[in-house]
Structure 1
């Protein structure tokens, strides 16, 4: 497996689904997509699905403080 794929599936920084991300931040799906379109939240595509790294969500929590 090449290093890019290894980084994608890093278990120390898991990938969350959009639904999991909304639960984690307690926001709506629209808010998640707005944050992404504003460039505040990076998403990863795998097999036609979108995921968000836990570390990306944690950055948003720090930003809100």
Structure 2
């Protein structure tokens, strides 16, 4: 079953959240994605760094390639 998840600000500092909005023009918490495997763990450095550098989670990278 597919579920829709919205990214929480839990694993991000206030500065990261502010910088993200300035760089990409939208809030981290506005991003959603659908997955059958569950929610992305942004406490993992690789997942967090990808989101902060690209503006979308790795699970969505196939749509932006």
- Normalised by the size of structure 1, how large is the TM-score? 0.33
Q: Which protein has the larger Cα radius of gyration, Structure 1 or Structure 2?
A: 1
Select the structure that is richer in helix: 1
Select the structure that is richer in strand: 1
- Normalised by the size of structure 2, how large is the TM-score? 0.33
